[in-house]
Structure 1
Amino acid sequence: MDDEGHLERFHDRPEPAVPGLAARCDRLGSSVVRDILRLTTRKDVISFCGGLPAPEVLPAVEGASLPRDAGQYGATEGETPLREWVAQHLTRLGRPCRAEQVLITSGAQQGLDLCARLLLDEGTGMVCEAPTYLAALQVFRLFGARLQPVAVTPEGIDLERLWRQLDRPETRAAYLVPTFQNPGAHCYPEANRRSAADAIDASGRVLIEDGAYAELSYEGTQATPVCGYLRRAPWLYLGSFSKILMPGLRLGYMVADERLVPHLVRLKQAADLHSSRVGQYLLLDWLERNDYDQQLRWARTVYRERRDLMAAGLDRHFGDAARWSLPGGGLFFWVALDGGLDTGVLLDAALDANVAYTPGAAFFPTEDAPVHWLRLNFSHPSPRAIETGLARLASVYESAVARSKHANSLLSD
């Protein structure tokens, strides 16, 4: 950030050299979303950045009854009743499993970190979607992965490219977000899921499936996890309690192929011994006293309304200048702007107008990322903020296009 609090094209600034740091620190870039969120704490800034739940959707934590030993050390794998709940839940979603396969993690982000520690050496091939979740890219790069992109569209993942990438000798795993993918909100059709599972089975590579948004469906879609179709290949499934319940607890879970569980337990022991027992018991208390499915229906209702408001606002304020598909689930619109503008450059002007978004280039695993995409969150801003924020953003965009046209006309004279 510069002296006025702007992101310098959201790239990292040169940092003072510190002798003796691990070489991987040079690969660790800052999170674009977290950097932008630091700039949006002012009340007058409307933020479409992170995947934050709506404040009114968050359940209250009150009157919780905690066991006397909740403050004591606990099992690395997590509290048994919570692991049993997760196992039953994932089985219901289409991947049968047992509580012994479940690890409670300090957020789904720790699950990604444990996957990287389990699978990645310097130069290990990691197949991933393009675009994909930017914090996963951050972790994989930290551990020296050689990222192997595969395009993903509303029709699913590019199967021919997936087969080729899985077949490369350096490939060890594939990271997929097949259900309301972040950032594109794509949901692989069933036939595409089965074919992707066949490719992974044939290769024997490890599947890392990220299901953080899998239940936030607004059109009745109930998609079986890709790992539910596997017959032979090892797999890991990552889930989160943050999008529907309480992100402040920083609790998630990973469910793993039985062959991988002992290694993951030792890796988590080395990382943090165990996730917060107080947080786990707060969550268990809520699950025991409330109806999870009712909470899910409430979240879907609120977010469906806000999704539709944003869709109408994009049509009204951008018209043909923006290309996007109505997300069937998740928390984001993935928008391409016409006019040849770099959304990373445009961000400073947007922040001056008190509106923020996430530039799209950060979601691509290669350096030649397209620069005309941006991601907009619709779950956290209020209905009024969605309308006001889109109006501000459209004004910024129109001004930038006018300046670009003027500059081009001067060059052609």
Structure 2
Amino acid sequence: MRSIVISVNQFDVFPFLSASGDPMPFSERVTRLKSSLIREILAAAQRPEMMSFAGGLPAEAMLPKSEWADMPRSIGQYGMSEGEPQLREALAAQARALGIDCDASQVMIVSGSQQTLDLAAKLYIDKGTEILLEAPTYLAALQIFQLFGADCLTVPLLAEGPDLNALRQRLEQHSPSFAYLIPTFQNPSAVRYSETARDAVAALLDEFGVTLIEDEPYRELTFDGGSARPIVSRLKKASWIYTGTVSKTLMPGLRVGYLIATPDLFPHLLKLKQSADLHTNRVGQWQALQWIGSEHYEQHLLELRSFYRTRRDAFEAALQRHFADLAEWNSPQGGLFFWLTLKHKIDTRTLLDSALAQNVAFMPGEPFFADPDANPGYLRLNFSHIDPERLDEGLKRLAAVIRHTQLSQAA
């Protein structure tokens, strides 16, 4: 069996040296560039024998069948930087149905919602810029904000949303350029903010004049039918950027995401996009437009929710069998992840090599925190993608790795 070794230390800053050993003439920003932990793990997870709980991959069985015969030849040509007008209209209508006051002129199509975060970082962040984040938060957002040199202020995430006392304290003591929040089935924790928390967050951001970047990739993946208006729809004064994607509901391969922004921000974001890639995949946009707002899309969402609800239930049953003595968790009411807190804290990054040797991949929880070394003992496990027939064995092996490591460290 080919071994894969992933060291905790290899995710430190790269040594940027030329072939002769001299420093490379790169930008100061690049000195903060770190290797992506999830990229390394997902590369290992491509092995056919690997049982992976690592990435947030949709189930391939639920990727919808795509039809291309009616696509106009003109779609192969360059398009508008803002995106296809019809798709922007459809997304604006969808947002208004959620209570967001907007029109199509505020909608921009991006190459997956990750590009929204890149544009926002370019718009706001210089070295030392203060920003506000949940703890834990989305790993790829944290990476890009830190790459641009942000000083990340964090607020603990509770069962109903952020710690509001801590949030007010942060806002009173600092002047963050923006707050980045994921209020609906948060990645990695799966927390869904309550209505009360959403109102309180909006009121605080308005009071202190802090821009909100609201990220909602999992909104449609609800298993209990519950929903809540986005926080941006509750803001009265603060500027905002709202971002979403079709990657979790249609096909990630389309690379179609979107942002909606207040008029004071949109022109600047558009100029930044034009300097980055000029255009977004028109073929992917055309395919997305065949679904958004249609009856067959609504039917697809119903089937998707039922499918993932079944997978969540099977996953939780297997967790009860193998992890009841090792960890605590809440049953996610939507999204694609379980967030586990180990009862006996260890740095879960130290488990990777042993788990991969057992053909099990998972995401350690520490990198989802701005200060990973101060937050040991968490795991993010994806339940959407693994073959159900391999689920039990995969969790059994992962639990065995944790028990062995805990015993070794206690000895």
TM over 0.5: yes
1:236 aligns with 2:238: no
Q: 2:247–2:256: 8 Å Cα contact kept in structure 1? A: yes
Q: Deviations over 1:170-210 (max 9, x none)?
A: 41110001111000000111011000000000011110000
Instruction: Report the Cα offset of residue 339 of structure 1.
Output: 2.8
SS of 2:290's equivalent?
A: helix
- 1:89 maps to what in 2? 94
Letter in 1 for 2:237: R
1:178 aligns with 2:177: no
TM-score by length of 1: 0.94
- 1:8 maps to what in 2? 7
Segment of structure 1 superposing worse, 248-257 or 396-405: 396-405
Alignment map for 1:30-45 (pairs within 5 Å): 30-45=35-50
Instruction: Report the Cα offset of residue 117 of structure 1.
Output: 1.0
1:337 aligns with 2:314: no
Instruction: Report the Cα offset of residue 150 of structure 1.
Output: 0.4
Letter in 1 for 2:102: C
Instruction: Report the Cα offset of residue 17 of structure 1.
Output: 1.3
Quote the Cα distance in structure 1 between the aligned partners of 2:274 and 2:196.
39
SS of 1:44's equivalent?
A: coil
Poorly superposed stretches of 4+, deviation over 4 Å: 286-290
1:104 aligns with 2:114: no
Quote the Cα distance in structure 1 between the aligned partners of 2:52 and 2:305.
21
1:61 aligns with 2:66: yes
- 1:219 maps to what in 2? 224
Instruction: Report the Cα offset of residue 77 of structure 1.
Output: 0.5
- 1:293 maps to what in 2? 298
The 1:16–1:232 alpha-carbon spacing in structure 2 relative to 1, beyond 3 Å, is closer
Tell me which of 125, 130, 136 is aligned to 1:131. 136
Alignment map for 1:247-266 (pairs within 5 Å): 247-266=252-271
Instruction: Report the Cα offset of residue 48 of structure 1.
Output: 0.4
Alignment map for 1:307-326 (pairs within 5 Å): 307-326=312-331
Segment of structure 1 superposing worse, 34-43 or 340-349: 340-349
Q: Deviations over 1:272-313 (max 9, x none)?
A: 001011221122234487621111111111111111111111
Quote the Cα distance in structure 1 between the aligned partners of 2:102 and 2:297.
20
Instruction: Report the Cα offset of residue 341 of structure 1.
Output: 2.4
Gapped regions of structure 2 (runs ≥ 5)? 19-23
Instruction: Report the Cα offset of residue 362 of structure 1.
Output: 0.3
- 2:17 maps to what in 1? 17
- 1:411 maps to what in 2? none
TM-score by length of 2: 0.95
Q: Deviations over 1:140-197 (max 9, x none)?
A: 0111111000011112111111122223444111000111100000011101100000
The 1:122–1:393 alpha-carbon spacing in structure 2 relative to 1, beyond 3 Å, is same
The 1:288–1:325 alpha-carbon spacing in structure 2 relative to 1, beyond 3 Å, is closer
Tell me which of 247, 250, 254 is aligned to 1:245. 250
Quote the Cα distance in structure 2 between the aligned partners of 1:126 and 1:268.
21
1:150 aligns with 2:149: no
Q: 1:173–1:206: 8 Å Cα contact kept in structure 2? A: yes
